[in-house]
Chains A and B, each alone.
Chain A
Amino acid sequence: MIQTADKSNFNDLIQGDFVVADFYGTTCVPCKLFSRILEDLEAEIPFLNIVKLNTTENPEIAEKLGIRAVPTVHFYKDGALVASHVGVMQAEDVKSVLAEHMYA
């Protein structure tokens, strides 16, 4: 499931069992590419929680989390950050992170 977050609900949305958070920018072209990869992952893994946050519209959260480039991907387990990546990730790379942390 893909959910769109803003400053009012971001903290709530990352509290799930395992969450992939995608920090993207409005005009960022690589972000659009990664967005499509996430849509493919959602179609492949229907129980995966994906949260998207537009850093252009929510700069306060980006600053608070130290997001300096987009796309940045955070992986949260029970609300705690367990892995992160700056730049586009291929689907296989995302799955490797899932294999390492989701079932740890």
Chain B
Amino acid sequence: MRSRVLTLADPRAVDLAGILQPFALDQKKLDRELQRLLNPYIRWEKGTTVSSGDVVVCKLSSPCPRFQRDQVQFVAGSGMFQRDLEALCIGMSVGETRETTLQEGAVSVTLMKVTNKIVPALTDEMVEKLELPEVHTVEEYRAYLMEQQREEQFWNVLYEPQHYLIDQMIAQSEFVLYQEDWQHVVDLRLERLRAISRHEGMVLEEMTPEQFEGRIPVKSYFELVAMEQASAWKTLCMHLIGRCFAQETGFAPREAEYEKQLQEEQKAWGYTEEAVREINTYSSYEFFAYYNLALQTLNGVIREQFNQGAC
């Protein structure tokens, strides 16, 4: 390959502010997850007064048929029956009667029975039972959940800044690009797709719009070639950027990694070993290993800025 990078832009110098949403902890979600750990430890005990979350049995009297009941059971404050009535029950004692006027009409509520919800405090022992590696205490579990949330949020917000950073890296770097290398990228992609379609009993060049549907977002082979040609310059640039990063880090594509990738693909798609080797040639693996290194490195830069958000 004769194409090369003359000067490489510094990805850390690209301003992602305004595009990248920094990490912001969702406290409600965190609390919900912590609460979830307590679910198996909740106890229910016969009680005398109602708090939010308790199970109550009431007698209702009203001109409205929905609220004419000798006995109705619901959870106070849950919203599963009627929010205003549930709120009215909170603080009531067994035998007590309260009255209210709802949109539907006047209702008289007599508390017949209450079962209190007893939620224990979260303990290290409860966390230990989860058998999570290196998570033994409530604080460690809290940190673990926050890290999960951070990871989930990162992948959710990555798309836009990733594409912006790739575009900026290409725009701010200097390349010498040869058309023969661009053609090589197009050929690599088409050869792979040709092999896949062959193993699925089709001929890539003759595929119909129906056969493309759900597989590749084009309607004809010519449209596919145009699509691959349009993206090949960017792919080539990313490969070259990856080669620069490889020089800095000592990365090199390895035969063992290629074999591992083949095994994974064979397992995931159910192809024979012969088919999977034909679909993923070593030269294709080698080319895209540098491309992926570029992508991972840029993702790392985005992650640094993302992590600077409040936690």
Q: Does A89 interact with chain B (Cβ within 8 Å)?
A: no
Complex formed: what's the CA distance from A43 to B44 in Å? 10
Which of these, A39, A46, A95, contacts B80 with CB under 8 Å? A95
Which of these, A36, A44, A103, contacts B78 with CB under 8 Å? A44
> From A97, which residue of chain B is reached at the shortest CB distance?
B80
Complex formed: what's the CA distance from A104 to B42 in Å? 29
Complex formed: what's the CA distance from A102 to B79 in Å? 12
Which of these, B35, B36, B39, B55, contacts A47 with CB under 8 Å? B55
Task: Kindly identify, within residues 76 to 104 of chain A, every residue whose CB is under 8 Å from any CB belonging to chain B.
Answer: 92, 95-96, 98-99, 102-104
Q: Does B226 interact with chain A (Cβ within 8 Å)?
A: no
A46 and B81: CB pair below 8 A? no
Q: Which interface class (under 10, 10 to 19, 20 to 34, 35 or more) fits A? A: 10 to 19
A99 and B81: CB pair below 8 A? yes
Contacts of A95 in B (CB 8 A): 78-80
Some 28 contacts from A to B, beta carbons below 8 A apart, are A36-B36, A39-B36, A39-B39, A40-B36, A42-B39, A43-B42, A44-B53, A44-B75, A44-B78, A45-B75, A45-B78, A45-B80, A46-B44, A46-B55, A95-B79, A95-B80, A96-B79, A98-B80, A98-B81, A99-B79, A99-B80, A99-B81, A99-B82, A102-B80, A102-B81, A103-B72, A103-B74, A104-B66
A6-47, CB under 8 A of B: which get 1 and which 0? 000000000000000000000000000000100110111111
Q: Which interface class (under 10, 10 to 19, 20 to 34, 35 or more) fits B? A: 10 to 19
B42-83, CB under 8 A of A: which get 1 and which 0? 101000000001010000000000100000111100111110
Main secondary structure of the interface of A (DSSP, over half): helix
Q: How far is the CB of B283 from chain A (nearest CB, A)?
A: 34
Contacts of A44 in B (CB 8 A): 53, 75, 78
Complex formed: what's the CA distance from A45 to B250 in Å? 58
Task: Kindly identify, within residues 256 to 278 of chain B, every residue whose CB is under 8 Å from any CB belonging to chain A.
Answer: none
Contacts of B35 in A (CB 8 A): 40
Contacts of A96 in B (CB 8 A): 79
Q: How far is the CB of B45 from chain A (nearest CB, A)?
A: 12
> From A48, which residue of chain B is reached at the shortest CB distance?
B80
Complex formed: what's the CA distance from A14 to B229 in Å? 58
Contacts of B39 in A (CB 8 A): 39-40, 42-43
Contacts of A36 in B (CB 8 A): 36
Q: How far is the CB of A97 from chain B (nearest CB, A)?
A: 9
Q: How far is the CB of A91 from chain B (nearest CB, A)?
A: 9
Contacts of B74 in A (CB 8 A): 103
B36 and A103: CB pair below 8 A? no
